[in-house]
Each structure stands twice: as C-alpha cells, then as structure tokens.
Amino acid sequence: MHIDQETKVFGLIGYPLSHSLSPLMHNQAFAVAGINAVYLPFPVQPDLFSSVVNAAKTLGIQGFNVTIPYKEMIIPYLDEVDQEAGQCGSVNLVIIKEGRTLGFNTDGIGFLDSLRQEGHQPSGLAVILGAGGAARALGYTLAMNGSQTVFVNRTLPRAQQLAQEIISLTGQESWAIDYGGQVNEYLGRANLVVNTTPLGMFPDIDKMPDIDLYRVDSKAKICDIIYNPVFTRLLKEAQDLGLRTMSGIGMFVNQGARSWELLIGKKAPWQEMYDVVQKRLLRD
Ligand code: NAP
C-alpha cells in the first residue's frame, strides 16, 4: 500500500470494533480498483463520541461507516440525512463533502440486494425476529418493496412501536408479537423469515431464536443477518429440513459495496469484496 499526500482517508466508527471485517473489505476494494485511499477502524469511546464528526472534518476524513452503538446517536450531529436513513432513524454511512455531512443507511438495501441476488423478490409476509436497529432498516425496506411484516420480539412494546411506525411510514400492514404460540401461525404464512437478533453469533454459536422450523412453509426462505459464523445454527437446522437459507455475509458485503459506491462514485468490485470476507470468516 502506498500512502502519500493525496491518499483519501475513510473509516468505521463504533465501539468496540475488535472483530470488524469492514477495513479488510474496503481496503481490498481500494487495492483492486487502484484507488489511492485507506479505510481505518476508529473505535470511539462513548464519552468522546460528541466530538467525532468535528474531529473527522478537522482531519480531512472524507467519509465513514457507523456501527453499534452509534447508528442512531449520530443523526443530530449531521447536516443532512437522506430519506431512507431519516425514516429508519439510523445512519450507517456519513459522507463529508465541502465541510458538510450527509447520512445514509445501506443496511436495508444491502439485505434486499442479497435477496435479489438469490432470485427472491419481497412479497407476501416477512417474519422478522427482533425489533432493534437492523430489524427497523430491513422491515422498512421490505415494506417499501411490497412485503407485509410481523416483528417477533422478546420485548413486545418495542415491536409494537416499530410495527406502528412501519404502517405509518409505508402504508403496508405490519404486526407485533412475542415468542408465544402466535408465532407458528405467522410462520406458516411467511415466505421470508429473517433473524435480526444476535442469537447464534460467535462465540454463542449454539443459540438460535425460539421458533419451530417445522411450521415454516416449504417454499419460504430462512435468512440470518449474522455473518460470523457464516452458517448459524438456525440456518443449519433449516437446511436439515430442506428449507432454502441465506447467510448474513451477502448483506454485509452488499451494505459495504453500496457504501463504497457512495463514497467513491464508482462501481464496487463486489466479488473481490465478498471473496476476502468469506475467506477470512471460513479461516477463523
Ligand atoms: P439491536 O438494536 O441491539 O437489536 C437486537 C434485537 O435482538 C432486539 O430486538 C433484542 O430484543 C433482540 N435480542 C437480543 N438478545 C436477545 C435474546 N437473548 N433473546 C431474544 N431476543 C434478543 O441490534 P441490531 O443493530 O439490530 O443488530 C442485531 C444483529 O444484526 C447483530 O447480530 C448484528 O451483528 C447484525 N447485523 C448484521 C448486519 C450485516 O451486514 N449482516 C448489519 C447490521 C446488523 P429486545 O428488544 O427484547 O432487547
């Protein structure tokens, strides 16, 4: 890697950041595309967060991704937020141009890209397990693209609030339930089931959401947005039942590729980004 006066600096802000694969993925894309830029991890402690946007501007950083726990907290510090990020209430990308900061969210569209790459178009009912930030981004994007949604959450009021917001933002039907018996009825009608909870994520790989996969229609697709491990227990059990599955690795690469394209203004080298991430995940 060659660093000089012209090298553009990008990065990722979150806390902690020890396991993030974003720097690996974005730097691979810069190398493949021959772009004089570097992407760095910036773990920002919560007590210093309020100064992060000014610090980035001062240092000439041209843009950065945002991850847990700052996706919502960053919004008041930005000059503008695009429509999707504003409606999701969550920003995972900030571009700094001529001193102004603009926020985007590429999580929802990244997930949709993955579905479409696998020939699946959103329609009918999507069962979304969880009601946090990722569920909000996915639910909004799926609803905007024609799906009805039901949010299944441990904390029912959080899911109820989210379902109400989805209805008022998109005009699509949306419901909220907890992990009781009603889940089975919705699972039987769903053509998409998505885990957005951390259940099954490394190192707790033996966990999975408390749903009965036998109830799922045989034509439904079971997705996990966890990408470490690539195949979670949920996906393995679904595969054993002959159900179609999709790992979170595609969403991770697609949200990254969408971010890269907004930052750089060129088509991202998707395959190389995917390959470097998959190779690292399967090695670990
Ligand atoms: P979040 O805002 O903290 O939401 C987490 C959700 O999971 C909440 O609904 C929470 O329920 C539920 N949950 C947590 N622990 C649970 C448990 N033990 N049992 C049942 N439900 C539980 O987090 P997030 O930002 O949405 O991220 C969620 C996951 O998505 C993370 O694993 C993250 O790595 C992954 N993710 C992946 C991508 C990708 O590109 N593939 C992108 C974004 C996020 P309560 O409301 O009851 O607390």
214-223 residue pLDDT tens: 999 999 999 9
Atom 32 of ligand 1, residue of closest alpha carbon? 198
| Residue from 136, 140, 154, 252 whose mutation best tests the ligand 1 pocket (most atoms within 8 A of CB) | 154
Evaluate if residue 180 carries a pLDDT over 90. no
pLDDT digits (tens, 9 = 90+) for 133-169: 999 999 999 999 999 999 999 999 999 999 999 999 9
Task: Name the residue type at position 205.
Answer: I
Supply the pTM of this predicted model. Answer: 0.96
pLDDT of residue 284: 67
pLDDT digits (tens, 9 = 90+) for 57-112: 999 999 999 999 999 999 999 999 999 999 999 999 999 999 999 999 999 999 99
71 is catalytic: yes
Task: Name the residue type at position 267.
Answer: K
Atom 22 of ligand 1, residue of closest alpha carbon? 197
**Strands (DSSP E) found in the chain:** 8-14, 37-43, 63-66, 80-81, 93-97, 100-104, 125-129, 148-152, 174-177, 190-195, 221-224, 244-246
Mean pLDDT of 10-22: 94
Q: How far is the CA of 266 from the centre of ligand 1 (A)?
A: 31
